[in-house]
Amino acid sequence: MKQLNLKAIIEKAIEDKKAIRECIQSNGDLNKLAHDRGIKFIKPV
């Protein structure tokens, strides 16, 4: 890992989290959200 601005990373994550919540609770399309916001969802198990 390189030198990171963790605050900036967390701020971006908070915005992503808000968008994910709105998408789920409005029965939206997470694929489209991922594309639009550059979110990389993964299936870890």
Partner 1 sequence: MIEELNLLNQSEIKEWINNSYKLTSKCGNAHYEITFSEIADLDKCLMITLYPVDKNIKGDIKNELFSLLRKIINNNYCIIYICDHIDSKHNARNRLFRKWFVEVSDKSIMRIEEQFSEEAIVVALMKDDFEHKELLLKIIAEQKK
Binding-site ranges for partner 1 (CB under 8 A): 1-2, 4, 6-7, 9-10, 12-14, 16-18, 20-21, 24-25, 27, 29-31, 34, 39-45
Tell me how far, at minimum, the Cβ of 32 lies from partner 1, in Å.
10
CA separation for the pair 25, 4 (Å, rounded) = 32
Tell me how far, at minimum, the Cβ of 24 lies from partner 1, in Å.
5
31: number of Cβ within 10 Å: 10
Tell me how far, at minimum, the Cβ of 28 lies from partner 1, in Å.
10
For residues 30 and 24, the answer to whether their CB atoms sit within 8 Å is yes
